[in-house]
Amino acid sequence: MNAIDLLKEDHRRVETLFAQFRENENGTNGALFKKIRDELLTHAHIEEKVFYPDLLKRGKKDLKAIVREGLEEHGQVKKLLSELDKMTPRNKAFNPKLKVVVEDVEHHVEEEEGDMFDMAEDQLTESRLETLGAEMETEKARFQKRMGIKPSREPQIKKGVLDTVMETTKDLVTGAFLASDESKPSARKTGKGNGSGEKRSSGSGNGGGRSSRSSTGAKNQRSRTKASSSARGSARGR
């Protein structure tokens, strides 16, 4: 996977966890914190181990500057995570400190996706980004195994969001079938009314009425034949 796509996938996963925290900002968030911590530590590790060093080596001055800023931000977030690790979720300072982590990371993500990633795509080849992506996937698996972190490869989708997506999809499919059923009789009506009428009017000047006259003639011929048969039957009876 492309390095930038992999990192953005991490960002989306963490954003989902942050949304869960905001929904329960005044509640107990001990278990949620552990998920956030594991995701952030893993993400920071593969960036610092693989991605950032390559950008510092191959990037231009502007890219190197924003990478160094990113490293400083990583240090601040890690410090807060370490402090939270030593606190109980019931501590009154726990949620406010976790909120600071959320805000710091959101700022970090904004700078990465708004500036750093664009610069990296401009200054590194697509092939190099693919290579970095593969290296980061390998390093992520190694780090998570060493730290006892359960891998989470796909961005998590909250149940409410998933239900909404499924309901929308169901409505779209149902609507498509209904539209298809309604269009069938409509097409037949159109064929009898507009389409046939247009053909008769357009052909009326060039013998378009031959079809109508031919049909009438056939009916008359059948009537004459039937009458003749009846007459012969009566004659034999006499």
3-state secondary structure 108-134: HHHHHHHHHHHHHHHHCCHHHHHHHHH
Sign of CA pseudo-dihedral 66, 55, 122, 155: negative
Q: Which residues of 138-160 are buried (b: 16+ CB within 10 A; e: fewer)?
A: ebbeeebeeeebeeeeeebeeee
64-74 tens-digit pLDDT:
999 999 999 99
Q: Is the pLDDT of residue 89 over 60?
A: yes
Helix axis angle for 94-111 and 30-46, nearest 10°, is 30
Buried b (16+ CB within 10 A) or exposed e, 209-222: eeeeeeeeeeeeee
Decide if pLDDT at 14 tops 50.
yes
Q: pLDDT: is 221 or 57 the higher one?
A: 57
Say what the pLDDT of residue 129 is: 98
Name the pLDDT band for 175 (thresholds 50, 70, 90): low
Residue 228, both tokens: 């003749």
Domains of the chain, earliest start first:
3-160 (1.20.120.520)
> In this predicted structure, which of 87-101, 150-164, 180-194 has the lowest mean pLDDT?
180-194
Mean pLDDT of 195-212: 43
Average pLDDT over residues 136-157: 84
pLDDT value at position 234?
43
pLDDT of residue 151: 86
The answer to whether residues 106 and 18 touch, using CB atoms and an 8 Å cutoff, is yes
Percent of the chain topping pLDDT 90: 63
- Contact between 18 and 36 (Cβ < 8 Å): yes
Tell me if residue 157 falls in helix, strand or coil. Answer: coil
Is residue 237 pLDDT above 80, yes or no? no
Phi, psi at 152, each rounded to 5° = -135, 90
Mean per-residue pLDDT, 27-53: 98
Task: State pLDDT tens for residues 102-130.
Answer: 999 999 999 999 999 999 999 999 999 99
pLDDT of residue 152: 75
